Amino acid sequence: MDINGASAIVTGGASGIGAAVARQLAAKGAKVVVADLQEEKGRELAEEIGGAFCKVDVTNTDDIINAVEMAKSMGPVRVLVNSAGIGWAQRTVGKGGSYDTAANLDAFKKVVNINLIGTFDCIRIAATAMSVTEPMEYGERGAIVNIASVAAFDGQIGQASYSASKGGVVGMTLPVARDLAAIGVRVNTVAPGLIDTPIYGQGEGSEAFKANLQKGVLFPQRLGDPSQLASMVLECITNSYMNAETIRVDGGIRMPPK
């Protein structure tokens, strides 16, 4: 699928994986809406790549609509990348046996609300816009890529909410792809392993932590670069025969229990 001159929305696009995707989309000629809560970083990136910034909380449908409308003003909406997400770790049962030490249910709901429900809300709104764009060759109108995680398959101790949310993204990939086939929109999911993003912090302690993490990577034994993950996202977008699939990009890692 040729995305030159088309518009693309990248949620969580101001940093990390989302920013790497936004840069590669722009390099292919797409007009990118960086949809994020981080205004300063988002505006800087949008200026760098010749796109636009839209402040978006993916739990707010009106924010999502604003981003899609902005994209429509820049070109035919052909691409959505769902990269916005948060993590949370807490054991299901705490110490002491009292009910108030059990896992924080509000935190569980928040993770699912952002990572899973937010992703679906972005899909349904952006796909609605795609449905009325002029079809390309073979009736194709657009492509959607969700960012899940290997935690969807190898969830570690304390990752119940995160794994559930990312497992939900993986689980809805096929049925949503089947839904959207009627309008010529493909849907794929990429599940990253350990990617070197700002989530790990900076400094000596951060580097030591990352060095320990990468021991579990099969080969090459290091954390992945955001650009490597972004290149797989771009392949899912531009390869018109790629549909309804979840792809791990993880160096062969299988996460241990902890």
Q: Which of 107, 63, 98 is nearest to 84 (CA)?
A: 63
Give the pairing of strands 52-55 and 246-249: unpaired
Q: Which of 230, 232, 203, 254 is nearest to 12 (CA)?
A: 230
Q: Is 162 marked active-site?
A: yes
From the list 99, 138, 162, 200, the catalytic residue is 162
Give whole-number Cα distances, 38 to 71, 84, 232, in Å: 18, 11, 25
175: number of Cβ within 10 Å: 11
* CA 218 to mean position of chain CA atoms: 24
Q: Catalytic positions, please?
A: 162
